[in-house]
Amino acid sequence: MPSVDEPLVSLDDVHLSFGDNEVLKGISLQVRRGQSVSIIGPSGSGKSTLLRCITGLIRPQRGEIRVGGTRVDQLRSEAEFIALRRRVGFVFQQYNLFPHLSVLDNLLIAPTLVAGRDRAEARREALALLDKVRLLHKQDAWPGELSGGQQQRVAIARALAMRPELMLFDEVTSALDPEMVGEVLHVIRELAAEGLSCVLVTHEMRFAEEVSDEVVFTEAGRVVEHGPAARVFHAPTSERTRAFLNRSLDPSRAPVLPQRPVELAGMRFAI
Amino acid sequence: MADALLHGAVAALKPLGLNYAFVLDAGERAAFLRGMGVTLELCIAVIPGSLAVGVALAAALTSGRAWLALPARAFVEVTRNTPTLVQLYCAFLVLNMLITQQFRQFGAGNPLTPFVWVFIVVSLHKGAFHAEALRAGIQAVPPAMLEAARSLGFGRAHLLWRIELPLALRFALPSLVNNVVDLVKMTAVASAIAVGDVTYESIMIWTNRDNVLELLLLILLYFGLLTWAVARAGRWLEGRLRMPGYGQ
Amino acid sequence: MNPSMTALEHLWQWSPALLRGMGANIGISLLAVALGTLAGLLVGAASMSHATVLQHATRLWVQLFRNAPVLVLIYFTTYVFPFEIGPAVWRLPFPDWLKVVLGLALPTSANVAEIFRGAVQSIPSAQWEAAQSLAMRRAQVFRVVILPQCLRRMLPPWMNLYASIAMSTSLASLVGVHDLVDTAQIASNTVARTDFTVLVYGAILALFFAYCYPIARFTQALEKRHAFR
């Protein structure tokens, strides 16, 4: 049994290529139990691929991946993968609810079918989860009848229904209209506050800063910088991190970064 | 009572130039009703028959194994691109003849009746069309949906039966229903090899009585009724298997 | 008939007749689809009019000729139509193959009407709105914006329809037209040899395949190209 001190998730020098295209070039990171870690970075830096490695949907060519004592990169049989995925919840950018099942059935199918839980008990839990994401009144609705934000909240509840130790969120608000982003982030904020271990890939910088214990900045398949959220966002050590944050943050708002003054012709300029 | 109704109906239609006198002849009436029954039997037999063939072929086509997929593909292409009548003749006049010859060597009779041959040929023919519809349905299942199911811990068997096939069926359903309507109409070809369906019995009657139009009208009404019933059943099924709001 | 000829040699002997029969099938299919398409476009156009009478009439036409077995329609036009047409002075014989052409033109027109209507309805309403906001009249919108796009969308299902009609021409043999199937039956009965029968029926299967399969492949290629637009 892993001790409380041992990290829940650890990646060690993970390399992954799709054909000739090397997407992950030696990623190492750790997530402790109860922590939330955000992964930020430009598109194409391999963030989503990273998440899929953790849950065994993609296999790296090199490196070690551990989730709570299981060596994910060494799993072989379907039964082993299933055992892992029962402990790791995954929420996708495109929600991916099953359109032929009602909202409640979407939450019930995995616990009853995969985990073999008693249907009545699973139903009670599912309804409690729907209540938690404030969609109890939509239990009999069909996914196609819900808005994007509602579907994503159901997707989160569906992943939670398996009682996972770890939750992975893959850019879960990127496909939503702006007015629906808030309701989904609210749910994640609550989950993180309750002590759920999670890894979020996100473009929502302010949210990442608010909710994460640690932030990891990846670029071009490598970890450029990682550390406590406050430090990475306000005092990044790497120039590339600074450049990315400058590009990403809304320039119309007050700058989060301290300016580096430059002296030129006797006058001080902020750059 | 029924007799009086029939007489009345026949008399009413006479001024329109329609000669339905055959209805009053017990023998011919029975023959026509028998023909309707045979057509119904054929429909009831070939619908599940063709669907079974379709599922088997679709499985072979999407299996990813060349030794299954290539013969299945060849069969589908040949069946879809040649006329049903010619296939029926090849089966009945050629294959059946060869089988009869083989049986004769053993001193036995050929157990395969023309009805059975129509069932086999039409099931195989429409099965090929069903297979294409199912294959398209399977390929229309978004890979992201399968990824979501795998991430929830679904094993391969559960993935197939609870997610992939239900979705594929829903996508393929309109095509499948269209195919079944075609199937009902196709049973008329049975008359070409003297299977006593409604078309064949009608030909027998009109050869005697020369009332082709009258019989064709009855046949049209009967097939119209059958195709309407199939379309209704299809719509009911589509309602049961609906996915409200999908695709918006 | 030379008894020492092989089945293949018999087939070679019969091939001109078989090919003539095939020509009959092809000719019937081309004429039937040509007539049926013209009629179908008219019916389709009528079905989209605002007049309720036209809407009902066209709906009846389409339902009737799509739900009737093709064989029944062929029997209808063959046996119900008169043997000759024209006023008393000059009577033209109404040949059987022409009756089959009409019989096949009927379901063609119904299907073309549906294909046409489906194509028009598949054009996004945004196209109508854009054209109308440029002050184009309804007829102009149709001619300049809608119809060109329709024709592209109609082509694959129309080609599928042609292939289907081409295969249905085999039913002409049941009403006495000397097509490929009828010729094969005559040949088989004349030569009266098992191996020849197998060969000749295999040959007509192959001939139909050789005609219809390229059409199907071409249609698939068309669909793929259209999908990328």
- When CB atoms are compared, the residue of B145, B166, B244 closest to A96 is B145
User: How many percent of chain B have pLDDT more than 90?
Assistant: 60
- Return the pLDDT at A270: 52
User: How many percent of chain C have pLDDT more than 70?
Assistant: 92
Q: Contact at 8 Å (CB) between A65 and A53?
A: yes
Q: At B118, list the tokens.
A: 């129509």
Average pLDDT of chain B is 90
Contacts of A78 in chain B (CB under 8 A): 155-156
Render pLDDT for B116-173 as a digit per residue (tens, 0 to 9). 999 999 999 999 999 999 998 998 899 999 999 999 999 888 998 899 999 999 999 9
Give me the DSSP letters along chain B.
Answer: -HHHHHHHHHHHHGGGT---GGGGSHHHHHHHHHHHHHHHHHHHHHHHHHHHHHHHHHHHHTS--HHHHHHHHHHHHHHHTS-HHHHHHIIIIIIHHHHHHHHHHTT------HHHHHHHHHHHHHHHHHHHHHHHHHHHS-HHHHHHHHHTT--HHHIIIIIIHHHHHHHHHHHHHHHHHHHHHHGGGGGGGT---HHHHHHHHHHHH--HHHHHHHHHHHHHHHHHHHHHHHHHHHHHT--TTTT-
Q: At B245, list the tokens.
A: 């709001």
Chain A CB within 8 Å of residue B156 CB = yes
Contacts of B142 in chain A (CB under 8 A): 96
Report CB contact under 8 Å: B153, A109. Answer: no
- Return the pLDDT at B234: 93
Chain B CB within 8 Å of residue C26 CB = no
Nearest-CA residue of chain B relative to A82? B153
Chain B interface disruption, residue of A52, A72, A94, A100, most B CBs within 10 A: A100
User: What would the CATH number be for the domain defined by C7-227?
Assistant: 1.10.3720.10
CA dist., res. C229 & res. C219, Å (int)? 16
- Return the pLDDT at C175: 93
- What is the arithmetic mean of pLDDT over B46-59? 93
Contacts of B147 in chain A (CB under 8 A): 57, 92, 96
- When CB atoms are compared, the residue of C173, C174, C201 closest to B90 is C201
Q: Which amino acid is at C220?
A: Q
- Return the pLDDT at A9: 92
Q: Contact at 8 Å (CB) between C170 and C179?
A: yes
- Among candidates A157, A46, A44, A181, which has minimal Cα distance to A104? A157
CA dist., res. C72 & res. B227, Å (int)? 14
- Return the pLDDT at A269: 55
Q: At C73, list the tokens.
A: 């329609």
Q: What value does the CA radius of gyration of chain B take, rounded to a whole number of Å?
A: 23
Chain C CB within 8 Å of residue B179 CB = no
Report CB contact under 8 Å: A78, B247. Answer: no
Contacts of B216 in chain C (CB under 8 A): 72, 75-76, 79-80
Contacts of B77 in chain C (CB under 8 A): 213, 216
Contacts of B83 in chain C (CB under 8 A): 167-171, 181, 208
Provide the residue ranges of all domains of chain B, joining segments of one domain with +: 40-190+230-239
- Return the pLDDT at C79: 86
Q: Contact at 8 Å (CB) between B210 and B103?
A: no
Structure letter (DSSP) for residue C91: P
Report CB contact under 8 Å: B80, C216. Answer: yes
Q: What value does the CA radius of gyration of chain A take, rounded to a whole number of Å?
A: 20
Q: Which amino acid is at A57?
A: L
Q: At A269, list the tokens.
A: 């300029």
pLDDT score of B96 more than 80: yes
Chain C CB within 8 Å of residue B216 CB = yes
Chain C CB within 8 Å of residue B223 CB = yes
Nearest-CA residue of chain C relative to B91? C201
Q: Which residues pair with A197 in a beta bridge?
A: A166
Q: Does domain B40-190+230-239 have CATH number 1.10.3720.10?
A: yes
- Return the pLDDT at C85: 57
- When CB atoms are compared, the residue of C64, C71, C209 closest to B81 is C209
Chain B CB within 8 Å of residue C214 CB = no
Report CB contact under 8 Å: C170, B80. Answer: no
* DSSP β-ladder status, A214-219 and A36-40: parallel
Nearest-CA residue of chain B relative to C181? B86
Provide the residue ranges of all domains of chain A, joining segments of one domain with +: 97-161
CA dist., res. A22 & res. A42, Å (int)? 16
Q: At B116, list the tokens.
A: 């059975």
pLDDT score of C229 more than 50: no
CA dist., res. C53 & res. C59, Å (int)? 10
Report CB contact under 8 Å: B94, C201. Answer: yes
Q: Contact at 8 Å (CB) between C79 and C100?
A: no
CA dist., res. C121 & res. C29, Å (int)? 28
Sites in chain A below the pLDDT cut of 50: 253-257, 271
User: How many percent of chain B have pLDDT more than 70?
Assistant: 99
CA dist., res. B199 & res. B47, Å (int)? 19
Chain A CB within 8 Å of residue B15 CB = no
Q: Contact at 8 Å (CB) between A229 and A253?
A: no
pLDDT score of B195 more than 50: yes
What confidence category does residue C19 fall into, taking pLDDT thresholds of 50, 70 and 90? very high
Chains that touch B (3 or more CB pairs under 8 A): A, C
Provide the residue ranges of all domains of chain C, joining segments of one domain with +: 7-227
How many interchain CB pairs under 8 A, A with B? Answer: 80
- When CB atoms are compared, the residue of C168, C188, C194 closest to B83 is C168
Count of Cβ atoms closer than 10 Å to residue B216 Cβ: 20
- Among candidates C44, C27, C61, which has minimal Cα distance to C169? C27
Render pLDDT for C83-119 as a digit per residue (tens, 0 to 9). 655 555 556 677 889 999 999 999 999 999 999 988 8
Q: What ipTM goes with this model?
A: 0.87
- Return the pLDDT at A261: 55
Chain C interface disruption, residue of B78, B94, B226, most C CBs within 10 A: B94
Report CB contact under 8 Å: B82, C174. Answer: no
CA dist., res. C159 & res. C155, Å (int)? 6
pLDDT score of C227 more than 80: no
- Return the pLDDT at B112: 87
- Return the pLDDT at A143: 93
Contacts of B96 in chain C (CB under 8 A): none
Report CB contact under 8 Å: B245, A115. Answer: no
Chain B CB within 8 Å of residue C83 CB = no
- Return the pLDDT at C94: 77
Contacts of A138 in chain B (CB under 8 A): none
* DSSP β-ladder status, A267-270 and A88-91: unpaired
Residue B109 C-alpha, separation from nearest chain A C-alpha, in angstroms? 51
